[in-house]
């Protein structure tokens, strides 16, 4: 059966794509953020994942507001990035893993997660940037991927409790896949930030750090908060932490930290990174 090697949660600010393209990793503004990655690169070299299941949210590339699935999954042979309108570089394509995609679809729908299946799917910066951060220099082209997209754009959003349960169902799906593949799970976005309104620029370091701590030791802790609570505590886009919650659900009851990093600001965002291994 397939093995889940661990999970990595990290921010996906669009401008990171530009910083990667311009090799600004050692630039004083970017260094405190990029310095969070070499220990995770070393860990990835050891655990050698074959497939990445990427939990993220689309920002108006694949999904417009005409059709907005709460949970959707890619089932394509490959995935392409495209022009997102705000001037970030377009990356190369990513391999899919249709066997895992369809196994997850079968298992998740049997478990009553009735997600939308996508045999063609554009992937935006929330998918491409974390993979390029974790597998630099286009090693990203060598790992197979399954995109899992959660709606964090148009409310109502799925609750933290639901996302955690979704993650646990994804774990069950991956662990029942008849394959010797090694699977890493990514959860992208957050942490606290707000782009819109008079409260633009809102950041909540205290809550972010508590969230990161509890995500490791007590993942159900976040379920006490409603979606409006999370917006109030982390900002209108901080609510992307739901992708971290789903990722954590995939990792099972107990995890240990591989590496963590937290830096303010990258663009308007508190940039968190947290790599975990199941124990």
Partner 1 sequence: MASKTKRVIPGTTIFDGDMARKGYALNKMCYSFNSEENRQEFLADPAAYCDKFALNDEQKKAVLSLQVLDMLAAGGNAYFIAKLGGIYKLDMQDVGAQQTGVTKEEFMAKLVEAGRN
Binding site for partner 1 (CB under 8 A): 15, 59-61, 64-66, 82-87, 153-156, 194-203, 205-206, 228, 231-232, 235-237, 263-265, 267-268, 270
| Residue closer to partner 1, measured from CB, 250 or 274 | 274
CA 49 to chain centre: 16
Catalytic annotation present for 103? no
207 Cβ contact list (under 8 Å, min separation 6): 192, 233, 234
Instruction: Specify the DSSP class assigned to residue 272.
Output: E
Is-catalytic flag, 259?
no
Q: How far is the CB of 49 from partner 1 (least distance, A)?
A: 30
d(C-alpha 257, C-alpha 4), whole Å: 15
4, burial (CB in 10 Å: exposed 0-12, middle 13-18, buried 19+): buried
In the bound state with partner 1, the residue whose beta carbon lies nearer, of 50 and 84, is 84
Minimum separation from the CB atom of position 220 to partner 1 (A)? 23
Min dist. Cβ of residue 232 to partner 1 (A): 5
- CB nearer to partner 1: give 69 or 136: 69
At its nearest, how many Å lie between partner 1 and the CB of residue 39? 21
Name the residue nearer to partner 1 (CB basis): 177 or 202. Answer: 202
Residue 257 has a CB neighbour count (10 Å cut-off) of 14
C-alpha triplet 9, 67, 111: angle, nearest 5°: 60
Query: How many residues belong to the chain?
Result: 279
Q: Hey, which residues are catalytic here?
A: 125, 193
């Amino acid at each position: 059966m397939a093995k889940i090697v661990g999970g990595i949660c990290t921010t996906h600010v669009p401008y990171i794509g530009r910083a990667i393209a311009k090799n600004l990793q050692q630039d004083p503004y970017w260094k405190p953020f990029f310095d969070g990655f070499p220990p995770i690169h070393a860990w990835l070299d050891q655990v050698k994942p074959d497939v990445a299941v990427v939990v993220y949210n689309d920002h108006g590339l694949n999904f417009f507001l005409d059709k907005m699935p709460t949970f959707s999954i890619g089932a394509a042979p490959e995935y392409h990035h495209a022009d997102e309108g705000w001037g970030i570089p377009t990356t190369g394509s990513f391999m899919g893993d249709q066997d895992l995609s369809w196994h997850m679809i079968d298992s998740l729908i049997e478990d009553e997660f009735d997600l939308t299946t996508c045999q063609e799917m554009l992937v935006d910066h929330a998918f491409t940037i974390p993979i390029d951060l974790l597998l630099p220099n286009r090693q990203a082209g060598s790992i197979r991927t399954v995109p899992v997209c959660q709606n964090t754009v148009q409310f109502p959003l799925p609750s933290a409790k639901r996302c955690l349960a979704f993650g646990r169902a994804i774990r069950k799906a991956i662990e029942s896949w008849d394959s010797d593949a090694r699977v890493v799970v990514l959860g992208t976005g957050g942490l606290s930030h707000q782009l819109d309104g008079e409260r633009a620029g809102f950041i909540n370091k205290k809550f972010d750090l508590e969230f990161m701590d509890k995500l490791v030791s007590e993942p159900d802790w976040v379920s006490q908060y409603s979606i409006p609570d999370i917006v109030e505590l982390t900002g209108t886009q901080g609510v992307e932490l739901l992708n971290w919650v789903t990722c954590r659900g995939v990792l099972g009851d107990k995890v240990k930290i591989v590496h963590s990093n937290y830096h303010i600001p990258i663009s308007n965002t508190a940039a968190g990174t947290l790599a975990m291994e199941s124990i």
